[in-house]
A and B are shown apart, each in its own frame.
Chain A
Amino acid sequence: MTDIPMDSMVRAAAHPRRDIGLKARYAAERRFRIYGALAISVGLAFLAIMLITIVSKGYTAFWQTTVTLPINFDEKLIDPSNKRATDPSVLIKANYPKLAERALIAKLGIDPSNKPMVMKLKGFLSEGARVQLRDIVAADPSVIGTTRDVNILAAANLDSAFKGQIDLSVEEARRKVSDQQITWMNKLKADGVMAEHFNTGLFSYGASSRPETSGMGVAIIGSFYMMVIVLLLALPIGVAASIYLEEFAKKNRLTDLIEVNINNLAAVPSIVFGLLGLAVFINFLGMPRSAAFVGGLVLTLMTLPTIIIATRAALAAVPPSIRSAALGLGASKMQMVFHHILPLAAPGILTGTIIGLARALGETAPLLLIGMVAFVADYPTTPFDPATALPVQIYMWANEAERAFVERMSGAIIILLVFLMAMNITAIVLRRRFERRW
């Protein structure tokens, strides 16, 4: 420090005390800095912990254990009295699980008359085998009487055991797979018959009470419909509203009221929009419950303020010189906005829209209230059919007790997060790339 000893008597006495003070002040400075760094690390650490736990729990959901069995589509069992030409419902009602069971018995070399052993096979293959085999026969009835290799889904418990997620040191009565089943599993594994495949069912199946045949097909379609509706409604309306407020609105009561409303709506809890949707769209206007269309409308109202605020910022960032130039060359105000300002503001608007869409995609609470917590097994063909959404599907799986559902849920979260991260990163990159300092 620049202490010039003018009055050396006083300075000499004061000097040491000042020095000590400085040390303490620098220490405080260092401490403060460390607190700051610590705070950031805490935030980032939580992000890391959350992502790691979810990924470690969920990555196995992308694989599914199947057993490849030579299924003999026995005519005697499927259609004993040969009526399928006149009564196709025979093919629907046939005892398909029996076909799979027979093939499995043959494969394992069990004596079919040994009833206790056959009983132990119960719960080895998925109940979904019924639908799987039925669909094969329904698609091509000529397979009846022939033998064909089919990948049959293993039951959820066997799937977990195969992936090594079931603790085999627990005594047999307290776990869900018996020792005999484990022995069979190892035998099939050694034969190369039982193996893990990429789980396409996770993306294509609808709701099901069995983990191995439940998937996010309906939820993905529902979320897709909703995103399309939000994009089609919120983007034009939001941009129009922003243009009015930023370029045309006179400073008056109405404008003030609109601005206060928009800012406030941006901070209204999302669940309130759900109540609005339930009371107005479903009860008052009589729209169907659980429909993606209603969900899309609710999410549109929720996303609008975000898009409006981002668009206004983007419009305001376009310098006045552009406006003056356009007007000076004889453009009308409308032409100035639509031909010059809007294209220049487009990257900012796009960024805001993507962020708004990402928020809408991850939103759950309002959708719970309009009945999207529904057991929907069939694909919705229009936005007016019952559907679910990705985050709602995750919520429903979170409420299931079976461990295999937790695996599926974590897998679904990974997919949702991948979508959201992709959207957010696109927005960040767009902003970096097109951000223009005038």
Chain B
Amino acid sequence: MSSLLVLAIVVAIGVVAFLIGRQRAAAHENGTVKPHSRAHYHGWWAFLLAVLPALLLLAVWTIGSSVYLDRHIHAALPERTADSKVASEALDVSLVKSLAKGIRRLDANTLPASFAELQPLLAAKGVALATDTQDYMIPIAVEANKVQDRLGLFGAVITLALAIAGAFYALRQIAPRARARNNVERLMLWGLLAASTIAILTTIGIVLSMLFQTITFFESVSPMSFFFGTVWDPRFADAGSGGSQGQFGLIPLLAGTLYIAAVALLVAVPVGLMSAVYMAEYASPKVRGVVKPALELLAGIPTIVYGIFAVVTLGPFLRDLSAALTGGSPFIQGQSIFTAGLVMGIMLIPVVSSLSDDIITAVPRAMRDGSLGLGATRSETIKRVILPAALPGIVGAILLTASRAIGETMIVVLAAGVAANLTVNPFEAMTTITVKIVNQLTGDLEFNSPQTLVAFALGLTLFALTLVMNIVALYIVRKYREQYE
């Protein structure tokens, strides 16, 4: 039985338990004893007791049986020798598994013994198999299917028994003074807590997944040559050749990332800050009512659109402009730090302005009025009173913006170039950490080569970099808010 069918039956049992439970409890409602919980709480409690343990068991059973199956196939495979035709054991196991899946569509009694005969039969059913599937795998696959069927049936029986037992237990508990509501609410609270721990699980998932891959990467490339190497030349190796040649120097990528982010901040911070100041201090409510949503729309445009604007419109325009200025060869390349930084800066304007808007409006009215009352003009009040008072918050906002700039991907993928140069000329192309993560992981890839694993090392570096900036920024912003609350 497939787990989906079992799931459906379990839920059906739960629904039946709910209906019976509610009905039984409702019968008590007109009795002499005042019931503790409303009838539907009894129903829900029966539903939960029927469904939850059964689902838990089903999940554990499914995972357990797939692990058991893997081991089973592993044990049945012939000993690996130097002239094994399949590249690795893991590949061996996965080949058997896909073969087993395919065989399920065929009649088990008329199964041919060799792969050459099997392939056309399966192809007719629309199953394509890898060509390095071997003859000896066929009996193993058949056996694996049998084991899987047995495990599945056994699991289904236990699960359904547990569901029915849970339902009966809950239904027997129904009594006027039974505390069904408290039980249901306690479970709900656990559910809410579980939902909120997903954030922690995500962070753990991010760190662990990248950490493991990074450690594997550092087995073939030393951390020293990664963190301090000045040459990026990963040289995609042929599949299977190991391919630890090539150099993975982080420095050119880091430099490009920081350079482009710096250009972006040079554009975004003055413009964004000034528009926030204007919006908070000068703009009439009418202007505010129009400009604020417009800036929000600017913030809502996906970064791919900015990237395409940079590469299709702005890049060629700047190149032609510079060619016209010098009257010959252009000094701004089509893909350049300047173009990417400028467009990223435009993207960040609404980010800076909305963050600083909140911070500027949080400065207490009394400080403003005090300064204006002493005869300062509005701009003097802003420059000498409000901005200094808001400074910590603004620094936090700029840090958050910088972390956005460092992690931005689509604009730089399209507009910054792929060559890992080390240059100070802003009109040349440079590449970034995010560009290289995308480059190394798109296309056909062999998963365990350093060429792809390096992407995780880069990702971990990026994560660590932005994490520090975010935590510092959030700490500053929070401290600042508390100061004026």
Contacts and interface: CB of A to CB of B under 8 A. Distances in A.
Q: Which of A31, A54, A242, A358 has the most CB of B within 10 A?
A: A54
A284 interface: yes
Nearest to A369: B441
B5 to A, nearest CB: 17
A420 B379 contact: no
A430 interface: no
B311 A398 contact: yes
Interface string A362-398: 1111001101010000000000000000010011001
A25 B213 contact: no
How large, as a class, is the contact surface on chain A?
Answer: 35 or more
Given A269-B409, A270-B407, A276 B205 contact: yes
Contacts of A424: 296-297, 300
B294 A275 contact: no
A412 B34 CA distance: 64
A362 B209 contact: no
B191 interface: yes
Interface in A239-292: 240-245, 248-249, 257-258, 260-265, 267-273, 275-276, 278-280, 283-284
Interface residues of B, number: 89
B409 A270 contact: yes
Nearest to B306: A50
A345 to B, nearest CB: 15
A178 to B, nearest CB: 28
Contacts of B274: 35-36, 38-40
A43 B205 CA distance: 38
A32 interface: yes
A283 B213 CA distance: 11
B210 to A, nearest CB: 6
B302 interface: yes
B403 A29 contact: no
Contacts of B456: 275, 279
A267 B206 contact: no
A33 B278 contact: yes
A261 B462 contact: no
Interface of B: 181, 185, 188-189, 191-193, 195-200, 202-203, 205-206, 209-210, 212-213, 270-275, 277-279, 281-282, 291, 293-298, 300-309, 311-313, 346, 349-350, 353, 377-380, 382-383, 400, 403-404, 406-410, 413-414, 434, 437-438, 441-442, 447, 455-456, 459, 462-463, 466-467, 470-471, 473-474
22 contacts: A33-B278, A39-B273, A39-B278, A42-B349, A44-B295, A53-B309, A237-B195, A241-B195, A249-B196, A258-B197, A260-B474, A268-B206, A269-B406, A275-B437, A276-B206, A333-B185, A365-B410, A365-B438, A369-B437, A391-B410, A394-B304, A417-B301
Given A264-B474, A280-B209, 7 more contacts: A242-B196, A244-B196, A258-B196, A267-B403, A268-B470, A365-B438, A398-B307
Interface of A: 25-26, 28-29, 31-33, 35-40, 42-44, 46-47, 50, 53-54, 57, 236-238, 240-245, 248-249, 257-258, 260-265, 267-273, 275-276, 278-280, 283-284, 301, 304-305, 308, 332-334, 355, 358-359, 361-365, 368-369, 371, 373, 391, 394-395, 398, 406, 409, 413, 416-417, 420-421, 424-425, 428
